[in-house]
Structure 1
Amino acid sequence: MGQMLRFYAQRLNALEINDTFYHMPAERVLAPWAEQVPDDFTFALKAPQVITHLKQLRNVEEEAGCFFRTLSVLGEGLGLATMGEGLHLFQARGRGGEPHHRP
């Protein structure tokens, strides 16, 4: 995604990542993304389907903890983490804000 991310970052200030819906993200993948974009760039990532669809947000403490810990490598560039249609939206970390749940 390296070249495409640089292309997007030159034209946009935010990007939604759908890949995280299908695969739990890894720090080794996300860390280079954060380095390739300007400081004011925001990532919006979809929560993995194991959390949102397979387990339907039930008993997902381990998976959700892993997901949000991994996303922390994006630092201030982390915007919203969407949890799926009709479900909840979590603001993983806003600029200057703490993680919180929004109904």
Structure 2
Amino acid sequence: MAKKYKYSFTRDHEAKEGLEALVLSGISFAAFIVLAIISFAFSGKGGAVLGAIGLVAMLLAVYGCYLGLKGLAEKNTGHRFAAIGTIFAGVMSIIWLALFLVGVK
């Protein structure tokens, strides 16, 4: 009788950078929502403080995208959080960049 082989394709753990990318993009999104509400409440006259917080949130999104790509490059780990974090951080980076370029004009 032939031997039966069992193969398992489970991964040990998720990529640490992927989870960090997801958290950073979530923080950036939360900052976007809060700053939009505050700016609406002040009729667009929020000042430099809101702009500085927005710039920090944009940098968080860019760094989250970098960490997500780094997490996708890891071998023998799960890439679910890394993929979601990279996409979400990339979208947030594009939104922040577009908002920044609209404000520069």
Which structure carries more helix by proportion?
2
Which structure carries more strand by proportion?
1
Q: Same fold (TM over 0.5)?
A: no
TM-score normalized by the length of structure 1 = 0.31
* Greater relative contact order (Cα < 8 A, sep 6+): 2
